[in-house]
Amino acid sequence: MKGEIEIAGQVIGGRVASIMIREKSGRKIELGDLLVVEEDGGYLIMQVYDLGYGSQIPQSIRELAAGLKLEGYGNGLDFLDPQLRNYVMAQVKAVARVTGELVKIPKVLPSFFSSVRYVTREDMKFLTKPANPVYLGKVRSGSKVLDVDVYLNGDDLFAHHVIISSTTGRGKSNLVKVMLWDITGQSRFGALVLDPHDEYFGRSGKGLKDHPEAKRNLSYFSTNPPVGGNTLVVNLGSISPEHFEGIIEFSDAQQHAIRLYHREFRDEWIEKILRGTQIEGIASTTLSVLQRILRATLSVYLEDDRIVCRNNVFSDSSGKATISEIIKALEGGKLVVVDTSKLGDEAELLIGSIIATEILTKHQEAKAEGKLDEKRTVSIVIEEAPRVLACERLAKIGENIYSRIAREGRKFKVGLLAITQLVSIMPRDILTNMNTKIVLGNEMATERHAIIESAAQDLSTDDRNIASLDKGEAIITSIFTKFAVPIYTPLFEDFIKERAEKFDTKGELIFQG
Amino acid sequence: MHKFAHMADIHLGAHREQVLQRLEMVAFSEAMDMCIEEKVDFILICGDLFHIGIPDLGVVKEAVRKMKEVQDSGIPIYAIYGSHDYTPTGTTVIDILDTVGIIKKVVRGKITEGKLRLDFFTDPKTGAKLVGISARKIGLESRYYEILDVENLEKEGGFKVFAFHSGLTEFKPDYLSQMETIPISYLPKGFDYYAGGHVHNRSENSLLGYGRVVFPGPLFTGYARDIEQTAKGEKRGFYIVSFQDKVEKVDFIEIKPFDSVYFEYDASLKNSLQAQKELTEKLAGLEVKDKVFVLKVRGELSGGKTSDINFSQIKRTLIERGALYVHLNRFGLTSKEFAAVKVMGEDIGSIESRLFKENVGAVRLTHEALKDERGAIMATELLQNLRQEPKANESKKDYGERMVKQTIETLQLREVFK
Ligand SMILES: Nc1ncnc2c1ncn2[C@@H]1O[C@H](COP(=O)(O)OP(=O)(O)OP(=O)(O)O)[C@@H](O)[C@H]1O
Ligand SMILES: [Mg+2]
Ligand SMILES: [Mn+2]
């Protein structure tokens, strides 16, 4: 801030995790505000987590004064020097001590009675743009937005998994869209988005398709593609039994049967099951149960001797290269958005499973050959993550590729970006493994507690804060940030207006028949 | 009932060997004769009639003679450009044949207000409406598709055929996953027949919203890979489509100008001497007379060099025993002792383009057009250009100028050198 420093208050007591500050009259300190105390050539950044009244006047006198006013006895009545006697007390915690370039977790209290000012842009200069940056938003102090961009290194961020949580409608998908926008311009990371609401591409309205590099760096797959989009059609031959693991529940007998069919018929195993081809050792009842499961989950069945798929997403003739095409795009550092809005959960998760399995395998092979360096980090974005990461489900149907990635993907540069309303039902170890958590507003106490418990920084005082976050307001807690950074992520539509990068339109096209 | 023939990827002039040159023309003649015999109403060639934009005149002469015969029996030949019907300088043999009326290009349209509007060409005899998009310099046609006004095309009534020379992602076989393709959503919906070219793999497809989408594959064989596939049993030929208001029938007509044998030998765990000996013995027992012989040798030799195996001797022996032609593929043959360079690929072209793609990332480049896939494509193209030899009768000076001009085009430096 230019000119005079704006004093917000003064330190009057407390302890490290709860420093007491008296607010200067006329200031409106908010929950979540960042405040600064300057000292020893450096400064301390503190964050407000609770507010209360303070008064020099005993409670009974205040009550009496209020009574007099309310009942009309003293219209001109007021306290002597009211700003001195009544005030606001802010409870703050120290979050970072900055000395030059150095940012540390604060270990000492600010000097007693030192004056406190609002944070300024300059105070956040240490948040520099890392290599391979992914934009997350701007620093936020309470509900005020500072003009300081927050980026994290994409390789760190994605490989170490991200979880984004809030109650519905607080801006999770919006935030992810903003993050992915940046990636679209970079070709540095691959990202697969399984999009059950078809909200990322921007089929109608703005979306990732509006990125200047979208033609080159974004592939969109849909059962009903717009002009230029890819048809989401997966050949049944691309599916193998392992892709079903933890996605669709099979009994031991069914499990055994599908393995036999696969061994016997390779790429045609599903087709053979649908056609009712018998093999030795498999009861025909098992076969018909399998047919029923495939019909219920993948909507594939036999009709007049032809394999049909209700939503056309699986085929016995088309889509042979769809999976390779997607893998190729991801490995090439592209963003792949798969519109699964017309699919059932199982079909969506299965398609994700096929792709994720291929990617993980490729990266594992690369690692074994000492060539993991040549691979780009790939992130798998999944909405409503408890569909695959809920404790109960994992216990019942077993591990799936998503939980495997959450547990061990980091070693292979494959990460999960899990979006969820519910954190409390996810396994502790998986949550701990997700090294960046982006917390948006959440009214549910159980969820807040689950988030706080698994956070990378101590958020024990942030409960109220999290409850009061508005749309787009978030807290990043990550092993890659020095402290839990409050941010505001703009509305995607506004964000891209601002970013409307100019790009050179290719030379004029001349048509030659 | 009307009928038309749909063929593509004929690649006349692709071969240097006399035997194959002859067979290639035999295949073409047979196909043309078949069209006359079957009394098709017209022939539609979906690109790559010739292997290069300015082919050897001997090849052109033979082909024109045959096409003239077709024309004289009242059958028009319609065509679009393929990816090989291209010269950096513009004019190709297709244009010349179009000018003199031997064939007719059916792609017409213009770009107005950023949209590509195509005009239908109506076959006078059957009333079939043809429209299409030619291939252009590697992948450039995709920019046409991006701005194609599909609405007008979809609105048109009648029997409609869309001719194109591009792979479609949805129908691409997995082994061609490296091939550049476009998604089918670029094509206008609701046509009766989509006549494809470019993919050297025959397939009949359909997908919701699109009628029949057919790739006839090469009529004979264009690339080295093709001849292997043919020898392995893949049928070559073209389609005859019977129609009234709709497609009634789609028949594949096989053209088989030669018999062939495919033999694959795995040399793994043997040294070069053992491999040569065993291979020679195995070949001795095979019937090769009057056949095209495809020999694929692969595996890692446990000792010796791959060049220790005397392949020319092996070839010569097969020819002496009456083989029409021997095609040898030993790209998959490596040696343990000399494994420094390991490349995988089916033929020279795909190995080259893969190497470019893999290595372009290792070079620090600032110019957009040189980066990533674009850079790799440009490099591939440049190599293709520079590999051209002088034509018969071309003076050194003309050759030099042509090469310079093409190179400038390829490098997109026209502006700079203007
Ligand atoms: N940063 C923001 N600023 C203003 N409005 C926002 C912001 N982020 C989101 N919104 C608005 O809130 C709505 C809900 O946002 P979004 O879809 O991202 O929420 P969500 O957390 O993904 O919800 P759900 O859990 O239901 O998927 C959006 O339609 C958008 O208009
Ligand atoms: Mg959402
Ligand atoms: Mn071709």
Q: What is the pLDDT of residues B108-143, one digit of tens each?
A: 999 998 899 999 999 999 999 999 999 876 667 888
Predicted local confidence at residue B278, as pLDDT = 95
What separation in Å is there between the alpha carbon of A169 and the centre of ligand 1? Answer: 5
My answer on whether B50 and B172 are in the same domain is yes
Kindly indicate the confidence band of residue B377, based on its pLDDT and cuts at 50, 70 and 90.
confident
My answer on whether B154 and B287 are in the same domain is no
Predicted local confidence at residue A1, as pLDDT = 41
Q: Over 80: is that where the pLDDT of B418 sits?
A: no
> Which of these CATH numbers, 3.40.630.10, 3.40.50.300, 1.20.5.510, 3.30.360.10, describes A133-233+319-484?
3.40.50.300
What separation in Å is there between the alpha carbon of A492 and the centre of ligand 1? Answer: 9
Sort out which chain B residues have CB atoms less than 8 A from A509's CB and list them: 111, 143-144, 147
pLDDT (mean) for B146-161: 95
Are the C-beta atoms of residues A191 and A379 closer than 8 Å to each other? yes
Kindly indicate the confidence band of residue B411, based on its pLDDT and cuts at 50, 70 and 90.
confident
Q: Would B418 be classed as within a structural domain?
A: no
Q: How far apart are CA A315 and CA A274, in angstroms?
A: 12
The more confident residue out of B126 and A86 is B126
The more confident residue out of B52 and A119 is A119
pLDDT (mean) for A490-509: 74
My answer on whether B266 and B237 are in the same domain is no
pLDDT one-digit tens code per residue, A13-68: 988 789 999 999 989 999 999 999 998 889 999 999 999 999 998 999 989 888 88
Report whether residue A442 contacts ligand 1, using a CB cutoff of 6 Å. no
Predicted local confidence at residue B342, as pLDDT = 52
Average pLDDT of every residue of chain A:
92
Residues 6+ apart with CB under 8 A from B234: B201, B202, B217
Report whether residue A172 contacts ligand 1, using a CB cutoff of 6 Å. yes
My answer on whether B89 and B139 are in the same domain is yes
Residues 6+ apart with CB under 8 A from B172: A320, A321, A325, B179, B181, B199
Predicted local confidence at residue B343, as pLDDT = 54
My answer on whether B86 and B229 are in the same domain is yes
Q: How far apart are CA A492 and CA A178, in angstroms?
A: 6
Kindly indicate the confidence band of residue B387, based on its pLDDT and cuts at 50, 70 and 90.
confident
Of A161-170, A356-365, B80-89, B314-323, least confident by mean pLDDT is: B80-89
My answer on whether B51 and B176 are in the same domain is yes
Residues in chain B: 418
Predicted local confidence at residue A2, as pLDDT = 41
> Of B198, B224, B254, which one is at a domain's C-terminal end?
B254
3-state helix, strand, coil in chain A (%, to 5): 35, 25, 40
For A310, nearest residue in chain B (alpha carbons): B208
DSSP A411: G
Q: How far apart are CA B18 and CA B24, in angstroms?
A: 10
The more confident residue out of A216 and B73 is B73
Q: Would B249 be classed as within a structural domain?
A: yes
Sort out which chain A residues have CB atoms less than 8 A from B372's CB and list them: 187, 332
pLDDT (mean) for A128-147: 93
- Find the DSSP H helices in B197-331: 224-231, 272-284, 311-320
Q: Would B275 be classed as within a structural domain?
A: yes
Cross-chain CB nearest to B185 (options A215, A226, A509): A226
Chain A to chain B Cβ contacts (< 8 Å): 80
Q: Over 80: is that where the pLDDT of B347 sits?
A: no
Q: Catalytic one among B15, B51, B84, B198?
A: B84
Of A396-410, B320-334, B392-406, least confident by mean pLDDT is: B392-406
Report whether residue A422 contacts ligand 1, using a CB cutoff of 6 Å. no
pLDDT one-digit tens code per residue, B257-310: 999 999 999 999 999 999 999 999 999 999 999 999 999 999 999 988 888 899
For B111, nearest residue in chain A (alpha carbons): A511
Of A38-42, A453-457, B34-38, least confident by mean pLDDT is: A38-42
Residue A63 is encoded by which pair of tokens?
A: 């009550």
My answer on whether B43 and B185 are in the same domain is yes
Q: Over 80: is that where the pLDDT of B386 sits?
A: yes
Ligand 1 atom nearest residue A199's Cα: 17
Q: Where are the beta strands (DSSP E) in B34-84?
A: 42-46, 77-80
Predicted local confidence at residue B169, as pLDDT = 94
Burial of A53 (0-12, 13-18, 19+ CB in 10 A): exposed
My answer on whether B33 and B112 are in the same domain is yes
Predicted local confidence at residue A195, as pLDDT = 97
My answer on whether B388 and B277 are in the same domain is no
Predicted local confidence at residue A3, as pLDDT = 44
Q: How far apart are CA B337 and CA B305, in angstroms?
A: 7
Sort out which chain A residues have CB atoms less than 8 A from B147's CB and list them: 509
Q: How far apart are CA A21 and CA A9, in angstroms?
A: 6
For B374, nearest residue in chain A (alpha carbons): A216
Kindly indicate the confidence band of residue B394, based on its pLDDT and cuts at 50, 70 and 90.
confident
ipTM (interface pTM): 0.80
Predicted local confidence at residue B337, as pLDDT = 72
Q: Over 60: is that where the pLDDT of B19 sits?
A: yes
My answer on whether B20 and B71 are in the same domain is yes
Predicted local confidence at residue B303, as pLDDT = 87
Q: Over 50: is that where the pLDDT of B7 sits?
A: yes
- What is the residue extent of each domain of chain A? 7-124, 133-233+319-484, 237-309
Give residue B117's domain range: 2-254
Residue A20 main-chain phi, psi, to 5 deg: -100, 130
pTM of the model: 0.86
Q: Is B6 a catalytic residue?
A: no
Predicted local confidence at residue B346, as pLDDT = 58
Q: Would B219 be classed as within a structural domain?
A: yes
Q: How far apart are CA A29 and CA A473, in angstroms?
A: 17
User: How far is residue A394 from each of residues A402, A405, A427, measured CA to CA in Å?
Assistant: 11, 14, 9
Residues 6+ apart with CB under 8 A from B31: B5, B7, B10, B219, B237, B238, B253, B255
pLDDT (mean) for A323-350: 95
Residues 6+ apart with CB under 8 A from B77: B42, B43, B45, B67, B70, B71, B102, B103, B104
- Find the DSSP H helices in A146-251: 154-159, 172-184, 214-217
Q: Would B417 be classed as within a structural domain?
A: no
pLDDT (mean) for B9-18: 91
How many distinct structural domains can be found in chain B? 3
Q: Over 50: is that where the pLDDT of A254 sits?
A: yes
My answer on whether B112 and B173 are in the same domain is yes
pLDDT (mean) for B172-199: 92
CATH number at residue B13: 3.60.21.10
pLDDT (mean) for A358-376: 93
Q: Over 50: is that where the pLDDT of A73 sits?
A: yes
My answer on whether B237 and B290 are in the same domain is no
B145, A321: Cβ pair inside 8 Å?
A: no
Q: Over 90: is that where the pLDDT of A343 sits?
A: yes
Q: Over 70: is that where the pLDDT of A298 sits?
A: yes
> Of B335, B357, B376, which one is at a domain's C-terminal end?
B335
> Of B202, B225, B254, which one is at a domain's C-terminal end?
B254
Q: How many CA atoms lie within 13 A of B241 on its CB side?
A: 28
Are the C-beta atoms of residues B195 and B178 closer than 8 Å to each other? no
